[in-house]
Structure formats: structure tokens, C-alpha cells
Homo-oligomer: A and B are copies of this chain.
């Protein structure tokens, strides 16, 4: 385990399109619409943290040992998919997406890793709102269906997810 990860967030790399004048303002359910896209910062992943994450959470040869990994389905050292998922969350939390109440996952319809994440890869996100709906049972909440693509430095997807997030509705004005 040992050294903790140094997540390198490169500021200024966000590409969000909504509220460019105030990217830090939380968005309520009413502020989202299908087709909206948001970007993220970027971070790099190094071999040492791939290994230490795997030692704690996913101790398998293709995540732990560069030489042994060459003999596996990954044909070389690769990050645990859960490490990629966790880094994706970090990028999502710090992106301009910023839903009111935080990023609260109700569950995923899809989660897959189309290609390995290698030591030195630099990751960023493309976030797209697919659906927006009010909750029938909870008047103060709604659900967003969001597709998040995690891309490497070559623009190739390393993780694709379609998830449902709980988002607060805008507080009603008193009338």
C-alpha cells in the first residue's frame, strides 16, 4: 500500500457549457435538460498507486506485477476497474456538473471498461444528461440519468457508465 495517490487536477481544463459565468453554483433539477454536456479536469494515474490500490482492493496479478501482467488477458499492467471508477468519481465531484445536494448515485444501468488504463494515462470526463424526471414519491427530489465517458489522453474511452442520480428540486418560492 504505502504512498497515497497524488491526484493531479489540471485547472482550467473543464468544458462545461451551462452557467459559464458561475461554474461553482449548484444546479437544481430544473436547471438540467437532456442533451446538456459537461467536461471535467484531468488527472494522471501512476504505477505505484495502481499497485497500492490493487493491493488493498483488487489483489490480482494484472494489477500488481508488471511482469506477471504480461501473461494475462490484459497483456500488461492495468489499473483495477474500481480504481478507474473511483478516479472518475473524483473528476465528477470536481467538475462543473455540480448538482444540488451532491453527486448521489441511485444506481447504474450500465458500467463497463472498454480498454485498460495503463500507468501514466491521463483521464478526463465527458458527461451528458440523458433524462430528467421529478420523483413521484419525494416532492423535493428528482432523478437525472447521466452518461459518463472516462477518456484517456488519446480520447479513447476507458470507462462508460449510465447512472441515475438523485438531485434536489429548486426550493419553491412562497406565494
Contacts and interface: CB of A to CB of B under 8 A. Distances in A.
A4 B1 contact: yes
A62 interface: yes
Per DSSP, chain A at the interface is mixed
Interface in A64-94: 72-73, 80-83, 85-87, 89-90, 93-94
A104 interface: yes
A114 B111 CA distance: 17
Contacts of A125: none
A166 interface: yes
Residue from the set A72, A82, A87 with the largest chain B CB neighbour count within 10 Å? A82
A112 B108 contact: yes
Interface residues of A, number: 41
A56 B91 CA distance: 11
A60 interface: yes
18 contacts: A1-B5, A4-B4, A5-B56, A57-B90, A58-B89, A59-B93, A59-B94, A61-B102, A72-B102, A73-B101, A73-B166, A82-B82, A82-B89, A83-B86, A86-B86, A107-B110, A107-B113, A108-B108
